[in-house]
Amino acid sequence: MAFKHKNAKRIEGLDVNVWVEFTKVAADPSIVNLGQGLPDISPPSYVKEELAKAATVDRLNQYTRGFGHPLLVKALSQVYEKVCGRKIDPYTDILVTVGGYGSLFSAIQGLIEEGDEVIIIEPFFDCYQPMVKMAGGKPVFIPLRYKTVVGNSASSADWVLDPTELASKFNSRTKAIILNTPHNPIGKVFTKEELQVIADLCIKHDTLCISDEVYEWLVYKGNKHIKIATLPGMWERTITIGSAGKTYSVTGWKLGWSIGPPHLIKHLQVVQQNTLYTCPTPLQEALAQALWIDFKRMDDPDCYFYSLSRELEGKRNRMAQLLQEVGLKPVIPDGGYFMIVDVSALNVDLSDMEANQHYDYKFVKWMTKSKKLSAIPLTAFCGPDTKKQFEKYIRFCFIKQDSTLDAAEVILKNWNKPTS
Residue-wise pLDDT tens digits, 40-94: 899 999 999 999 999 999 999 999 999 999 999 999 999 999 999 999 999 999 9
Proportion of the chain above pLDDT 70, given as a percent = 97
Q: Give the model confidence (pLDDT) of 262-301 as tens digits.
A: 999 999 999 999 999 999 999 999 999 999 999 999 999 9
Exposure letters 262-278 (e unless 16+ CB within 10 A, then b): eebbebbbebbeeeeeb
Exposure letters 182-212 (e unless 16+ CB within 10 A, then b): bbbbbbbbbbeebbbebbbbbbebebbbbbb
CA end-to-end span of the chain:
50
Which residue spans within 61-196 are E strands per DSSP? 94-97, 117-122, 138-143, 145-146, 154-155, 159-160, 174-180
Q: Give the model confidence (pLDDT) of 363-392 as tens digits.
A: 999 999 889 999 999 999 998 899 888 999
Residue 1: what pLDDT? 61
Burial of 53 (0-12, 13-18, 19+ CB in 10 A): middle
Residues 81, 83, 89: CA angle, nearest 5 degrees: 20
Does 26 have pLDDT greater than 90? no
Distance, in Å, from the CA atom of 12 to the CA atom of 234, rounded to the nearest integer, reads 34
On average, the pLDDT of the chain sits at: 93
pLDDT, mean of residues 341-358: 84
Distance, in Å, from the CA atom of 275 to the CA atom of 279, rounded to the nearest integer, reads 11
Distance, in Å, from the CA atom of 342 to the CA atom of 346, rounded to the nearest integer, reads 9
Contact between 212 and 180 under an 8 Å Cβ cutoff? The reply is: yes
What's the longest Cα–Cα distance across the chain? 68
Distance, in Å, from the CA atom of 408 to the CA atom of 372, rounded to the nearest integer, reads 9
Helices marked H in 274-358: 281-295, 304-325
Does 418 have pLDDT greater than 70? no
Phi, psi torsion values for 63, nearest 5 degrees: -55, 150
Residue 175: what pLDDT? 98
Q: 332 - beta bridge partners?
A: 155
233 three-state secondary structure: coil
Distance, in Å, from the CA atom of 404 to the CA atom of 89, rounded to the nearest integer, reads 42
What is the amino acid identity at position 45?
S
Confidence of residue 37 (pLDDT cuts 50, 70, 90): confident
Does 13 have pLDDT greater than 80? yes
Taking the CB of residue 17, how many other CB atoms lie within 10 A of it?
A: 13
Contact between 213 and 225 under an 8 Å Cβ cutoff? The reply is: yes
Distance, in Å, from the CA atom of 282 to the CA atom of 110, rounded to the nearest integer, reads 27
Confidence of residue 233 (pLDDT cuts 50, 70, 90): very high
